[in-house]
Amino acid sequence: MRHNSETETCETIQAGMTALLDNELAPGEAAALRSHIAGCAVCAPVFAQVEKTVQLAHSWKAEGADIWEAVERRLTSSLDNALPQSLAPLRSRSHLSEILTTKRKVTAEQLAEAGAQATEDAAKSAEEPAGTINQEDLRAVLTEMRALRTEIQELRGEVGTLRRLLSATRQAAPAKGYRPLSPPQLMPLALPEDSGFGLL
Amino acid sequence: MTTHRSDNPFGPGDPEQGFRCLVLQYQRRITAFATRMLGGDAATAQDVAQETFLALWRQQVRDDGRYPLPDHIDRYLLRIAHNRCLDLLRVRRDTAYLDPERDATDSATGPEKMAQASSLGEAVRDAVSLLSEGQRSVFILSHYDGLRYQEIADLLDCPIGTVASRKSQAVATLRLLLKAWADHDDTDNSEKNDASQQ
């Protein structure tokens, strides 16, 4: 008959078998485990099964896949992905075009940053042949900035109109007999009975 | 003034080329990992892998390549892929009852189901898919990706003792689930040995 302490020892040993196979134990621990397993009628077959299981698990072959083409497609088709790349050196006309044709996602700040970067680049490489430093792109960015500024001004105008309309509606409401509930009418309902207000 | 790190492929020069090299280097490993995490669903695993790399791209371009890449980019990618896989698995689990093709009559689970698998690889796949999320993550990262326990602990943000415990539990569960295949394999081997002795 096996004693409880022996059973506990075997449980501990069996819990460490995987770590033993993974070479995760300190040399002393590993030696102690191997020594126990070699002389234990309970742990030896369990260890053999664990080894077997680990070996069988290698039978599942999951093939990796080449995904660069798909990643690249998504990279160039998404403005969110293409935008930062274009903003870096403004080196590619195609990337700039992508920004300009999907301007709804491009903020004025981003365009200003791009323009500043392009100006800096142009100043640094003034000796390069014309066209390589995207002077044309710079002009396009500035044009776009102007267009965006106009849009912003228009939107500001619309917001102002809406504000005036709202204000006029508020002022006109009492004249049509509409009386909004005032706070004193609502408060007693939310207060406890002993608050001194009583219920209306 | 932006300062770029020379060791960051997303820095000045051609960030897209640096990114391409990185994807080509790790794409197969990340897709294989995601495939295992998703129980063999290779198509979804490819989507997960794409998202993983694009997440890295977005982060790096957002930072304009100013910061060095994580020390162990493979583990960094594995962590992103792992989190995405867990999100997917949780959605699947929460919506499994809505699946009209779900076979309610398929009552075989556990060792019986593994024994019915048409191949050992399929049986292992099904058995690993039956592990809890924690055990499955640790088992796959350790057994198939070859990460050390400490590396897995860092990746999963858990103590190393938890990793050791989950790995041990995972193997114990697999031992039960694959018992029929192990016995079958032992029988085959003993028959081969007998034949060679004769």
In this prediction, residue B110 carries a pLDDT of 64
Best mutation site among A13, A17, A18, A117 for testing chain B: the one with the most B CBs within 10 Å? Answer: A18
In this prediction, residue B82 carries a pLDDT of 96
Tens of pLDDT, residues B57-71 = 888 776 666 666 777
Residues of A in contact with B185 (CB under 8 A): 52, 56
In this prediction, residue A36 carries a pLDDT of 94
State chain A's mean pLDDT as an integer. 71
Query: What's the whole-number mean pLDDT along residues B4-24?
Result: 69
Whether B124 has its CB under 8 Å from any CB of chain A: the answer is yes
Tell me the pTM: 0.63
Query: What's the whole-number mean pLDDT along residues B109-125?
Result: 78
In this prediction, residue B128 carries a pLDDT of 94
pLDDT at A34 over 70: yes
Residues of A in contact with B46 (CB under 8 A): 65, 67, 70
Please tell me which residue, B151 or B193, carries the higher pLDDT value.
B151
Q: Which of A59, A68, A85 sits opposite B20 (nearest CB)?
A: A68
Whether B86 has its CB under 8 Å from any CB of chain A: the answer is no
DSSP assignments along chain A, one per residue: ---HHHHHHHHHHHHTHHHHHTT-S-HHHHHHHHHHHHH-TTHHHHHHHHHHHHHHHTT--------HHHHHHHHHH-HHHHHHHHHTT---HHHHHHHHHTGGG--HHHHHHHHHHHHHHHHHTTTSPTTTT-HHHHHHHHHHHHHHHHHHHHHHHHHHHHHHHHHHHHHHTGGGT--PPPHHHHHHHHS-GGGSS---
In this prediction, residue B162 carries a pLDDT of 96
Among A73-82, A109-118, B133-142, the least confident range: A73-82
Residues of B in contact with A49 (CB under 8 A): 175, 182
The answer to whether the CB atoms of B61 and A17 lie below 8 A apart is: no
Residue A52 carries which side chain, given as an amino acid letter? K
Q: Which of A18, A24, A81 sits opposite B171 (nearest CB)?
A: A18
- ipTM of this complex: 0.80
Residue A192's pLDDT band (boundaries 50, 70, 90)?
low
Query: What's the whole-number mean pLDDT along residues B147-154?
Result: 96
Tens of pLDDT, residues A135-154 = 777 788 888 888 888 888 88
Residue A29's pLDDT band (boundaries 50, 70, 90)?
very high
Greatest mean pLDDT among A104-113, A116-125, A163-172, B113-122 lies in: B113-122
In this prediction, residue A184 carries a pLDDT of 44
The answer to whether the CB atoms of B58 and A81 lie below 8 A apart is: yes
| % of residues, chain A, pLDDT over 70 | 53
Place of tokens 């042949």: A129
Please tell me which residue, B193 or B31, carries the higher pLDDT value.
B31
